[in-house]
């Protein structure tokens, strides 16, 4: 039967007459979520790569093409069915905030391990852009992904990035803008 659809698109929030949409960055630990958050908002996040230590939610703002977006960096999450405190916090965030968009960040070298969460998010009705981060490391290993085939299969926008050096960030901003302008 699968996960029932938890999410219904809510109207964009009004803040001082300016439309803002909420974007949540989520994914497993150590995939580059906080680096992406910094690239989108300009805010640095203190990162700790030890299990059980990063359970905070960080909020920031992004402006792009005259629009404002509220961006939330969530703790690591392996599954929509929480086991750890981090996953519980992230799931609760998704259920309470009902964001207009989720950026699911995955390590491009480990797509097969990380796609189950992507599928759970899609099945739950969450609007998703899949961010294939660390694409440069995948390519350095002499590998490549069939991104167009994956995009057609999942029916969600997909952007390849190397967040640490800014590769793909402009394309991701364009995808966010296009998705939320619909």
106: in domain: yes
Relative to beta strand 67-73, strand 58-64 is antiparallel
2: in domain: no
142: in domain: yes
Summarised one tens digit per residue, pLDDT across range 12-25 is: 444 444 458 999 99
Read off the CATH number of the domain in which 127 is found: 3.40.50.300
30: in domain: yes
**Crossing angle of helices 147-154/111-123, nearest 10°?**
30
170: in domain: yes
Contact 21, 100 (CB under 8 A): yes
Q: Which helix (H) or strand (E) holds 35?
A: helix 33-41
Domain that holds residue 59: 18-181
Residue 3 pLDDT > 80:
no
Calpha distance 137→134 (Å, rounded): 5
41: in domain: yes
3: in domain: no
Q: How high is the pLDDT of residue 182? A: 79
User: Residue 176: how many CA atoms within 13 Å on its side-chain side?
Assistant: 29
8: in domain: no
Q: List CB contacts of 48: < 8 A, sequence separation 6 or more.
A: 54
Most confident of 44-53, 55-64, 116-125: 116-125
Contact 28, 78 (CB under 8 A): yes
How many independent structural domains does the chain possess?
Answer: 1
Residue 47 pLDDT > 60:
no
């Amino acid at each position: 039967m699968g996960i029932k659809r938890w999410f219904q698109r809510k109207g964009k929030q009004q803040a001082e007459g300016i439309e803002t949409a909420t974007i949540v960055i989520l994914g497993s630990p150590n995939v580059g979520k906080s680096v992406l958050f910094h690239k989108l908002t300009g805010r640095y996040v203190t990162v700790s790569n030890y299990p059980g230590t990063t359970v905070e939610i960080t909020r920031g703002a992004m402006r792009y093409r005259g629009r404002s977006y509220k961006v939330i960096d969530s703790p690591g999450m392996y599954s929509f069915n929480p086991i750890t405190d981090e996953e519980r916090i992230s799931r609760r965030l998704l259920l309470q905030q009902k964001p207009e968009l989720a950026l699911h960040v995955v390590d491009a070298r480990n797509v097969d391990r990380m796609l189950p969460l992507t599928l759970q998010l899609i099945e739950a009705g969450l609007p998703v852009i899949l961010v294939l981060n660390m694409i440069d490391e995948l390519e350095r290993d002499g590998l490549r992904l069939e991104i167009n085939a994956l995009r057609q299969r999942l029916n969600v926008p997909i952007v390849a990035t190397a967040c640490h050096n800014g590769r793909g960030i402009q394309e991701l901003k364009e995808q966010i803008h296009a998705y939320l302008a619909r």
